[in-house]
Structure 1
């Protein structure tokens, strides 16, 4: 093995689309799903509180605190399980359970079973799982590609995932919220739930068991081919 120059963007894209097609598909699915999930909920949460629960704008921040707490505790408490139980199984579990939680919260929202406090508690529980799931998308991108192209690969998937899911989600959910229809908003939540569940199942079926393994064993350096 000899030292190899860092690949350019064109070569990285070729490798992603050909040699690492399956890994690219999984990583992209995880990135798009988590970007849609997060942006759909977080950037429209204040609108939901003020429009459907009549929460004064000055008090909105109080309801964001439980949301933020769930986000912080998820990776902190669940992170070690990605090594102990395994990457593939934990990624699949956190994505699928996050999607189920989102769908159930949407159902409760439509039925009028939640007040503002209940909505905040539901999001706190859902994003306890979703925060660990989202972190695992970046973890996947950082582990399953060779060292020489890893940084560019992360950049590509972050840009495409955030540009797709992150742009569409707030626009779509914002429009649904402005309609004033709980059913329409819940349909948007349902779409996000389907995305993350499908991404989780893909990871569970095709993901890489990367726990407790050297990165060079998961993805040998490109220089090893020379």
Structure 2
């Protein structure tokens, strides 16, 4: 396996150095990437920045459940601030993780089909056995959330706990661990789901929608003064 990866990377070195990754056509091996399918499930997540306290319980739960090595992470909480004057200061917390784009650049550039969109759930995932570590997907991701797992030497990122929690009929680890219920996970195609009700009741935003990626990670923006420390 290591030998085949070495051969692949050697043959692709010139291509990576001389061409934009956005210009690489999708591999014929890239399966489950047709987002026009009539599946009944399209998973998404909402992060309520007003409820988030930046405790990182979500980060640690993800690490434990998905066996993410130290030094890398599938999700992180960015803290900004303080805003305002003491003692009336506030902080803002934002989730940074895979956006599970419906038009995912990482899938488009993957030469082996390792990066794919699961046609049954809409989850952007990775076939670890197909990944050769070329890092095209990392370069193509406009959200900079992919990384090379130092133990498997393959591309890694948040997959909504597809291979762990979801297989057991459970919510993602980060959702269950959040002490303030800042995360809501569910099916966009289920009109009765808590996710859809939340999206209909509160204004949200998504990152870099101008790129046409159609991300499925939604944010409820911080109201100034809501989080006081």
Q: Considering fraction of residues, name the structure with more helix.
A: 1
Query: TM-score scaled to structure 1, two decimals?
Result: 0.26
Q: TM-score, normalised by structure 2?
A: 0.26
Identify, as 1 or 2, the structure richer in strand: 2
Q: Per chain length, whose mean CA-contact separation is higher, i.e. which structure has more relative contact order (CA < 8 Å, sep 6+)?
A: 1
